Structure 1
Amino acid sequence: MRDLLGLRVLVVEPDRTLAFVLADALTLAGARVVAMCSNLSEAARARGRETPQALVVGTRSTGSPEAAARDAQSWGLPFLLTCDRPVSVGDARNARCLTKPFCYHDLVEGLIDCAFAHDAPR
């Protein structure tokens, strides 16, 4: 399995326990988690302290994953959206939807696919 090579990741996850699990998994894979936030508004404030290179955005079953995907896409960063059902992230080459439940390998590989999409041949 590949690793995340020091990639600076901002974790946006409303469930604090899951945010810690995601952060630990990403750290084990070589990422540097710059912040953990419960929503994108909070993440926007944290973004000024240390610039992330990618986002992992979790959605609640009661929220709109499509709206979360649009909001994440507006950041202009690679992002991995974790949700309860498959969601289109548009034609963005640097975005993926990861359906829950998922394993550590899927999380890491999904974020690598997003973050390093520009390195892959078309």
Structure 2
Amino acid sequence: MEVLLGAGAPADRQGALGDTALILAASSRGGESIDLLLGHGADPNLGDRNRKRPLMWMVDTQLHRGFDTSANIAPLVRAGARVDADRAALMWAVRGVGTSFDARRPGGERRRRGRH
């Protein structure tokens, strides 16, 4: 990949679904690839045809279930990835969390739906 980028391959070329190399790296937990692409000018805010951006792919808890992707999030944010764009990355981060936490309050009583 480094040879291709060094030879002038565009870091932001989009495929048929709008995916970029950075999106593919983010969706496959490719930390070194993310750093390399960002170093060659990849746009951290360029989304696919569904407007899902690299940061959203990186924090998708259902896609990365069981993996800690926090180290790969920082380079995207430092490169200017918008954390407030469209469907916020935070929403993707907590999307699968609701099924992994017990819905009980600290004292053991169950929470009622619709009440806090």
Normalising by structure 1, report the TM-score: 0.28
Normalising by structure 2, report the TM-score: 0.29
Q: Which has the higher strand share?
A: 1
